[in-house]
Chains A and B, each alone.
Chain A
Amino acid sequence: MNPCYETTSWRPGTLRAYESVGSIGAKYCYLNKVKPREFYNLILELIGEKNRYINRDDFTFDSLDFDFSKLSKLFNEPLPIVKKLSLKAINHLPNLRKQTGYSLASNEDFAYCPICLANGYHSPLHQISWVTNCFIHNEALINVVNKNKSIKNLHTDIKLLSNLYDIWFVESEIWESAKSYDWHLVDNKLIEEKAKLFIQALINTESAITNESTTIGNNIESKLLVLVENLGNSNSVFKAMHQNKSMRLGEPINFICSNMVADTLVKMNSKDFILFMYSRQITCESENAPEWKVALDKLPSILRINHKNCLHEYRKTFEQLEKTRISWCRWNTYVHPPYDMESYDRVPCQRIATLNLLQTILNFEDSLVHNSHGNFYDSRLGGMDYLFQDIEVLNDLITSDLAKKWVGFIVLGQHQIMKKYTPGYVFNTNDEADSRRTSMYVPHDLLEEIIDQLLLALVYVWIWALYETEMNRENLANQQFKPVQYLKLMISQLSPSAILEKTHNGLQLKIGTMVPYKTPDWFINKDDLINHYLNVQNKSRELEVTFDQVLLERMKSANLYQKSTNHLRIYSR
């Protein structure tokens, strides 16, 4: 007869495993015709007065005291499914955390799978910051900035309640059956089956990690993937959840060394290796250069092939225009140059912008010397100050002759290959290359070999990221992406990871990379080349005309129309 414990207007049988608290909350508010506050109160009751969590960024259902059986009774849902709201099993994996920086922490965004959303489902497995695809549908997740305020005493994932409520029950028709009594939902068996694969991959990997190895890289998801792959725990779902799914584990490279040396090297962490990659890159000489250095040094000339004329044309018209612009600016108001190498739209040939991007990559010295924040290469250290003194095994490395002190001059601006094409630079004569005396540690012997292998993987990532950026130039403009932002994104997405592990007679290095070790096809075939030059000339004229028109407008408004005519190119033409 009448229930003997509290009930709610939940629809029994509609709860799904690993459903997010926001998803459940939105449905609760709709079904019970109550405000979110009532659901918050319910959750506060269920998480217990002590409000105990291991981490501040845990999901709501990971509360240590969460009363699942009460929720099960209240919703009339089977306890086994209710218990699968928690991600406790993979929440705190200390070995993975140490090796990769692993955590389930979500970003502040609202991340969702459009297919799931159309079937009334959202999961914390969509919110994990390093997960890019839906674990059920393999669909790319969509990220939306979430501006909702935090709720006192509750964890941030509950903020998604109002987003989901609005999407499902207020405005749109995203989930068609939302307002009917027959909800069309994602099949629970499918959810459990897919989630299990993801969770198993992580748990198995966690238990297989030993301290006989170290993981190198600056991208959590890529490091995770390489670890899971290396320990043989990968599966279709786990791969699909990362954007780096095309990662290949290269052939292992073996190094023979003493057990002591091997021990010292596997004690190094990711940041230690990255620091040595910097110092190696800065101090590497061109004679007897390693493979990565050769590839990098050759790049500017490879990029110029087929485009010598473009550069010539650009420089010629550009210098001419700069004269006019600078003399105008000197006496009148400032006028922006029509050219901008930071935008594919505002250079006559795309390669000019690409060369400029390459220069951005090569100008890494400043970032290391000043170690300033916000600089391009800080991203490689996760934006933190990390110095050689911070390397725990530095002394052991020096004793074993794996690292040496280096004192010398670093030339700044050495790689500024596009400097002479920069507006404002032409007539600036007192800009000399600067050099700075610096001391640092450089890798030596076995460590140098390892570092060279890592740099090789990295250099090819840079090259392919540049290529991807140039190839995508038209989309970038549509999406309001600056080329340099896109390049950074590509580099971080393609970022390689490596595992260095002990073997019976030394060490083995396995590099997981998403790009091939070869130069992409940058070249233009002969027929297209003629068209290309024509386009470049047209674009060049177009930019000139734009500039002339701007200048004309300025003159009219400054009433200088007559006075300045003889100064101006526009009338001499």
Chain B
Amino acid sequence: MVDAQTLEHTKLSTRLLAGRDFLVKTPQCVSYLKQMHTWLTTGSQGALVHGRPRLGKTSATRWVLKVIPNLIGNFPVVEVPIRDQHIASERAFFQHLLRCIKHREAMKGSAGDKRDRFSEWLIARAKRSPINAAVLFFDEAHLLQDHQYSWLLNIGNELDKNGCRLFCLLVGQPELADKKLKLIEDGMEQIVGRFMVRELEFSGISSQLDLVATLTEYQETIYPIDSDTLFAENFIPLAVRGGFKLNSIGPAMWASFEKLWIHFRIDKEMSIPMHYFTSALIGTLNSLVKHDAHSLVVPQETITDSVNASGYKDSLRILLASLDKYKRTNSRS
């Protein structure tokens, strides 16, 4: 039998890992936010944001889009997941977009009706925003096809005609950068020129400083929202009340990740995807539950175990393999 408290911890852990429940401002998020601010206020119409899986691109994007209205005012945003969708036809594509905005009439009419219905929805809202723009956030955008880009181009033109702007935020895996080159090769510079001029490569936590800063964010976070409980208090209330600071485990945690990186001898700058960081943090906190005390000392072992169990090791193995493969392909050609 699982006790109620453990159940609560499990629930919290899975929510955090799914990136659903709350978004934490990492240093990477902050620079992403600065970029986005520039793009949206300088008239850009799209940007590529790419990086390896599990870096926390989706969460970071959500966080940026949630925060940025405070800086530049409200604007409509639609998050469009591309994975596993049957959106090959224009009718299905726009129906998918309509369903993303929970449109009452998503299923009715022809492809043209659906496109017009969607652009009407966007324009009506973009016109009311101070930046006169609407943002479409495509998650897993590397799965988008050429013709889908050209449909987006049409929507963009429709917004242009009416004095507002469509901004397509294309977030996906590194293939997205390759896609850009391929589109140029295939003579579709128009799409590149419109949506892909701006680019941001997303990396994970890449320094001890970043890692400590991220931990500090977690440390300050209140959870659940509207309570007066600090995030860590959900696990180790006595320790937190005794003055325990979450960021104090930063150096130890960084050392554990670094050890793995060195072990695989990867010839790149080190980076820890958010997912593994979060996983290691939650692992650590869960192990600390039973040791909770007013003056808590966190053993290095606990942290190392959690980092080892976070899945980071496997991800590095895959990374190494793909780098090798990349090298081999390049040397052959």
Contacts and interface: CB of A to CB of B under 8 A. Distances in A.
Which size class do A's interface residues fall under?
A: 20 to 34
Interface stretch (A26-34, A507-515, A547-555): A26-34
B128 A33 contact: no
A7 B121 contact: yes
Given A31-B117, A32-B108, 14 more contacts: A1-B79, A1-B137, A2-B102, A5-B102, A7-B102, A7-B103, A13-B128, A32-B120, A33-B108, A34-B109, A34-B117, A181-B123, A181-B162, A181-B163
Interface residues of B, number: 30
Interface of B: 62, 65-66, 77-79, 100-105, 108-109, 112-114, 116-118, 120-121, 123-125, 127-128, 137, 162-163
A38 B105 CA distance: 8
Interface in A16-41: 31-35, 38
B92 to A, nearest CB: 17
Interchain residue pairs A-B with the least CB separation, the first 5: A33-B113, A9-B120, A11-B124, A9-B121, A181-B162
A398 interface: no
A11 B121 CA distance: 8
Contacts of B128: 12-13
Contacts of A4: 102
A1 B103 contact: no
A42 B114 CA distance: 18
B127 A181 contact: yes
Nearest to B162: A181
B65 A6 contact: no
Contacts of B162: 181
Contact of A9 (B65, B102, B124, B163): B124
Contacts of B114: 33
Interface in A491-534: none
A2 B121 CA distance: 13
Chain A interface SS verdict (over half): loop
B226 to A, nearest CB: 17
Nearest to B135: A1
A116 B283 CA distance: 67
B40 to A, nearest CB: 16
A106 B65 CA distance: 50
B85 to A, nearest CB: 15
B21 to A, nearest CB: 14
26 contacts: A1-B62, A1-B77, A1-B78, A2-B78, A2-B100, A2-B102, A3-B101, A7-B101, A8-B103, A8-B105, A9-B105, A9-B117, A9-B124, A11-B124, A12-B124, A12-B128, A31-B117, A33-B109, A33-B114, A33-B120, A34-B105, A34-B108, A35-B108, A42-B104, A181-B124, A181-B163
A74 interface: yes
A8 B137 CA distance: 20
A478 B240 CA distance: 93
A10 B127 CA distance: 13
Given A33-B109, A33-B116, A181-B127, A9 B100 contact: no
